[in-house]
Structure 1
Amino acid sequence: MPDRIDPCLALLKPKPPKGSQWAFEVKWDGYRLAAHIEPSGVRILTRGGHDWTDRFPAIAAEARRLPVATAILDGEAVVFDERGRSDFGRLQQSLGGRGGKRMSREAVLMAFDLLYFDGRDLTGTELGARRHLLEGLVPAGGEEAIRLSEEIEADGDVLLRIACEHGLEGIIAKDRNSTYRSGRGGEWLKIKCIQSDGFAIVGYEKSTASFGGIGRLLLAARKGDELVYVGGVGTGFNERSAADLREQMDKLIIAKPAIDTGRKRNAVFVRPELVAEIEYRAWTHDGKLRHASYKGLREEQDTAAVYAVDLALKAG
């Protein structure tokens, strides 16, 4: 049984693909995890390969109850809001914020693939057969800490519209005939209702009227080997997330900005070590984020990549 398998990642596309070989699922908004089940015990690994078994006790306990001797489940850990939508900010708070060490008993693993099963490596097997085995192991429905991410029989365009109307992040399309390949090879595609990516925090503008005293975060993206300013975000905070964020930023204060942010009043600059997950609708003609909203801080263990702005502008 492999010690670890690098995950298959979805390639961002503007529209759903056409053709009967494409299967569709909801795009979950959480942390990518792999649950390794062996007779010796269960391990829960993050996308970057960190062992977070202790952070997700309910998922680990449910994995031990599954009727299988050896397996590797691929899925996304999520926490749902009151409307049944996965909420990245709630997941982060359940873990104690960025760098926190709390256990999340609320998190649920939405399992969408099976990479190893009863002594057999399934990565060379086509998706349709892997899904058939997964559905036998993790039944649809139920309220357990491991649930099946169900395949949805629908036209991709219709499904995307419905997902967006219900406030979901988007949909995933997967080639039923594809084997499991690590990386972003195009076998899996993601189509988003709203763009959501990681941006480096380079400072903030102070405000006495806002949560945590944060009027607006100042953000940067990658351009080649450098960081460039891409505007700010002043919405999406609540009292708790703003307080957590302010505590993290205050440890990183520097006298001069790390990059050129233009003239800013009441600005505090920080070393660009924190990566914020930001929702946004589009880019302005001069390369700034439009209608941006803060979702939370990305963990290093969840590969907190800073978005490449030149790619973003081409995609936009």
Structure 2
Amino acid sequence: MAAYRRVVAVHAAGARHGSPEPMLATLRPVPASGDGVAVEWKYDGQRTAVVVDPTGTWIVSRNGVDVSRTFPELAAIGDEFGGRRVILDGEIVAVDAQGRPSFTRLQRRWPQHRRPTPTLLREVPVRVLAFDIVALGNRSLTGLPYCERRDILAELTDGLTSPVLTVPQSFSDVSPADMLQIAGQHGMEGVVVKRVDSPYVSGRTTLWTKHPVRSTAQLLIVAFWHAGGPGGARSVGSVLLAGHNAAGDLVVVGQVGTGFSASTRRHLFELLDPIRRTDPPVVSAPEVPGAVWVQAETVGEVAYREYVAGRWLRHTSWKGLRDAVDPATVAVPPVTAPLDP
């Protein structure tokens, strides 16, 4: 079973259980055609394997850690399979008030290995969205094509009654680009495109590709950190970003350290080094050890996945400078997810 690795799942009986090493999608441009592929929604949650056998149910994280204690309600998944050994691949999600998976909400169930209080279990319920099956009984299904594994999963879960297990829909003969547009319109994270003939292959592969919905914002650079390594003293590693809120105050909204070329890092240093200042140009300045404050006059554009009220932009990447934008007009981006109570 090449798609498996053995991990020690520690539980009361001290037994050992196999968990699948997950098949990981690769970030790629959206395919022009939907021929030969299936499209699934991309969910903002925690990747997991659900290992069920006659002795119990185990929830195993992407890196092979038993997190059953963190999500005790998911043990009920085992009741659906009548004592048969099953290994599912899926995503643990917690939904927001709009019914959409919210990574921010899910984080309330962390740190891992901490058993949640009854109050937390009520306030932040979770479920597994199972999108693949890699073993049934003593048989590995990893060599079967995706379409056959999905058929087996559908048959196995027909009449499913568990409130903590859902099999999300898989769409075929559709345009991946159209699906990504729909995902953006409904505040979803994106789509995953899967070859219908793909076996289950451990690790990163282009047989599955991921396509996140990304928003962009034009923001002011208010501080920078030096890059590490040779030449880092005259190069920017990352920058702190801010925008004006409704009251007109300049407030920090995030940080970006990816998407820069080496030449861009040097060019940014040349722009920012002459406009250093000793005090922050923002209100309610956060603690940012090692940062160099600068005048708030340089506008850049970033892509990001989510902006949570009261927190920072998530999954940012640098797009470029925007010299034509008046710094006075730069505003904080619209909130894409509320701060979870």
Following TM superposition, by how much is the alpha carbon of 1:85 offset from its aligned partner in structure 2, in angstroms? 1.2
For 1:42 and 1:186, how far apart are their aligned partners in 2?
A: 31
Query: Is 1:283 aligned to 2:296, yes or no?
Result: no
Q: Give identity over the alignment, percent.
A: 27
2:152 maps to what in 1?
133
Helix, strand or coil for the counterpart of 2:91?
A: strand
For 1:137 and 1:129, how far apart are their aligned partners in 2?
A: 12
2:307 maps to what in 1?
none
Contact in 1 for aligned 2:19/2:87 (Cα 8 Å): no
Query: Is 1:12 aligned to 2:27, yes or no?
Result: yes
Q: 1:88 aligns with which of 97, 103, 112?
A: 103
Q: 1:109 aligns with which of 128, 133, 145?
A: 128
- Flag the 1:219–1:281 CA change in 2: closer, same or farther, 3 A: closer
Q: Which has the higher contact order (CA 8 A, sep 6+)?
A: 1
Contact in 2 for aligned 1:67/1:137 (Cα 8 Å): no
For 1:280 and 1:256, how far apart are their aligned partners in 2?
A: 20
Question: TM-score scaled to structure 2, two decimals?
Answer: 0.61
Aligned-partner residue type, residue 183 of structure 1: G
Helix, strand or coil for the counterpart of 1:139?
A: coil
Contact in 2 for aligned 1:17/1:173 (Cα 8 Å): no
For the pair shown, which has the larger CA radius of gyration, 1 or 2? 2
For 1:219 and 1:84, how far apart are their aligned partners in 2?
A: 29
Following TM superposition, by how much is the alpha carbon of 1:36 offset from its aligned partner in structure 2, in angstroms? 0.8
For 2:164 and 2:46, how far apart are their aligned partners in 1?
A: 14
Following TM superposition, by how much is the alpha carbon of 1:111 offset from its aligned partner in structure 2, in angstroms? 0.1
Helix, strand or coil for the counterpart of 1:53?
A: coil
- Flag the 1:69–1:142 CA change in 2: closer, same or farther, 3 A: closer
For 1:81 and 1:215, how far apart are their aligned partners in 2?
A: 26
Contact in 2 for aligned 1:16/1:191 (Cα 8 Å): no
For 1:25 and 1:50, how far apart are their aligned partners in 2?
A: 26
Following TM superposition, by how much is the alpha carbon of 1:292 offset from its aligned partner in structure 2, in angstroms? 9.2
Bigger mean CA deviation after superposition, 181-190 or 26-35: 181-190
Query: Is 1:172 aligned to 2:192, yes or no?
Result: yes
Helix, strand or coil for the counterpart of 1:54?
A: coil
Computed over aligned residues only, the root mean square deviation of the Cα atoms, in angstroms, reads: 4.4
Following TM superposition, by how much is the alpha carbon of 1:201 offset from its aligned partner in structure 2, in angstroms? 10
Question: TM-score scaled to structure 1, two decimals?
Answer: 0.65
For 2:133 and 2:93, how far apart are their aligned partners in 1?
A: 18
For 1:58 and 1:22, how far apart are their aligned partners in 2?
A: 34
Following TM superposition, by how much is the alpha carbon of 1:178 offset from its aligned partner in structure 2, in angstroms? 0.7
What count of residue pairs does the alignment treat as equivalent? 255
Aligned-partner residue type, residue 156 of structure 2: L
Q: 2:141 aligns with which of 118, 122, 144?
A: 122
Helix, strand or coil for the counterpart of 1:180?
A: coil
1:303 maps to what in 2?
none
Contact in 2 for aligned 1:36/1:42 (Cα 8 Å): yes
Aligned-partner residue type, residue 149 of structure 2: R
1:39 maps to what in 2?
54
